[in-house]
Amino acid sequence: MLSMLWGQKRVPGKVLGSLIQHIHDFTRENQITVEEWMAGMQLINSIGKMSDEKRDEAILVSDVLGMESYFRRFELD
Is the domain of 68 the same as that of 53? Answer: yes
Query: Does residue 3 register a pLDDT over 80?
Result: no
Is the domain of 28 the same as that of 38? Answer: no
Q: How confident is the model at residue 77 (pLDDT cuts 50, 70, 90)?
A: low
CA torsion through residues 7, 55, 64, 41, sign? negative
Is the domain of 28 the same as that of 49? Answer: no
pLDDT in tens, 17-75: 899 999 999 999 999 999 999 999 999 999 999 999 999 999 999 999 999 888 888 87
Q: How confident is the model at residue 10 (pLDDT cuts 50, 70, 90)?
A: low
Is the domain of 43 the same as that of 18? Answer: no
Q: HEC string of 3-69? A: HHHHCCCCCHHHHHHHHHHHHHHHHHHCCCCHHHHHHHHHHHHHHHHHCCCCCCHHHHHHHHCCHHH
pTM, entire model: 0.67
Range of the domain at 75: 34-77
